[in-house]
Structure 1
Amino acid sequence: MKVNIRLIKKNRIYSEEFKREIVSLFEKGTYSTLQLEKLYGICNSSIYNWIYKFSTFNEPGQRVIEMKISSTQKVKELEDRIRELERSVGQKQIKIDYLEKMIDLAKTELHIDIKKNSATPQSNGLDQTKKK
């Protein structure tokens, strides 16, 4: 005896409120259509149909084109770049403070004037500055 097995297509019916929520998540830039598709298990074409139907920004006759990199991913990349630059600036500031302290120590303990004023004569490089 041969059994006839067929897959039953699942037709899902979504409320208008749910559709509008999905469209608002897309419009806010919280999620891309691909992310919404994976998150909610909704077909990509359905999401685009809802965008065309319920979007406040979409005008009739215009097509929505989504960039590969979503805006949230761009923001995350920019925030990472900002953190990296702030860390770099912090390290440079520590180095500057260290070098300024070394210059002050050289002046007070070794009597070497590394920071020159514009009024001081140019050094020949061999003589130490005179003790005051």
Structure 2
Amino acid sequence: MKANIKLISKQRKFSEDFKKSIVNEFESGKFSVPQLERLHNISNSIIYNWLYKYSSSNEKGQRIVEMKDSSSQKLKALEQKIKDLERTVGQKQIMIDYLEKMIDIANEELNIDIKKNSNTPQSNGSAPTRKK
């Protein structure tokens, strides 16, 4: 009975079509090498070997550089930054409106002119204070 037992190989073997499909997925820009590695549970060194072997543009000895952030992620980050800046500008405008309203109230109710106009006479200063 022991003569009929075959040892099972621990290494997986991939077909040429599968290897080429992985290379095509990378070259189309759908997936990066780390994404393909996680998706198919294949080490990145094997994927890079396939890229060098089956790719029409990548050759052995040339470095493959992948963009870490895609343009869509950069666009989303910039849109979020714009929203944050617009929120900040809005808050500052509310503060300006509030302070202008307080100046108008001080002028109307307390007869204090806080705004300096060109026709407002200069102050003579305050009287010296006495020490006790």
The TM-score with structure 2 as length reference comes to 0.58
User: Do the aligned partners of residues 117 and 74 (structure 1) sit closer, same or farther apart at CA in structure 2, a change above 3 Å counting?
Assistant: same
User: Do the aligned partners of residues 123 and 42 (structure 1) sit closer, same or farther apart at CA in structure 2, a change above 3 Å counting?
Assistant: farther
Please give the alpha-carbon distance, in whole angstroms, between the structure 2 residues aligned to 1:122 and 1:23.
Answer: 75
CA shift, 1:121, in A, is 1.9
**Contact conserved, 2:106 with 2:112, CA < 8 A, in 1?**
yes
Number of equivalences: 118
Say whether residues 1:90 and 2:73 are aligned partners: no
SS state at 1:71 partner: coil
In the alignment, what sits opposite 1:129? none
Cα-to-partner distance string for 1:80-118 (whole Å, 9 max, x where unaligned): 444433332222222112112211222222222111113
CA shift, 1:50, in A, is 5.5
Please give the alpha-carbon distance, in whole angstroms, between the structure 1 residues aligned to 2:92 and 2:109.
Answer: 25
CA shift, 1:123, in A, is 3.0
Please give the alpha-carbon distance, in whole angstroms, between the structure 2 residues aligned to 1:65 and 1:113.
Answer: 65
CA shift, 1:54, in A, is 4.0
Q: Which has the higher contact order (CA 8 A, sep 6+)?
A: 1
**Contact conserved, 2:33 with 2:44, CA < 8 A, in 1?**
yes
Please give the alpha-carbon distance, in whole angstroms, between the structure 1 residues aligned to 2:61 and 2:6.
Answer: 46
Question: Which amino acid in structure 1 is aligned with residue 24 of structure 2?
Answer: R
Bigger-Rg structure (1/2):
2
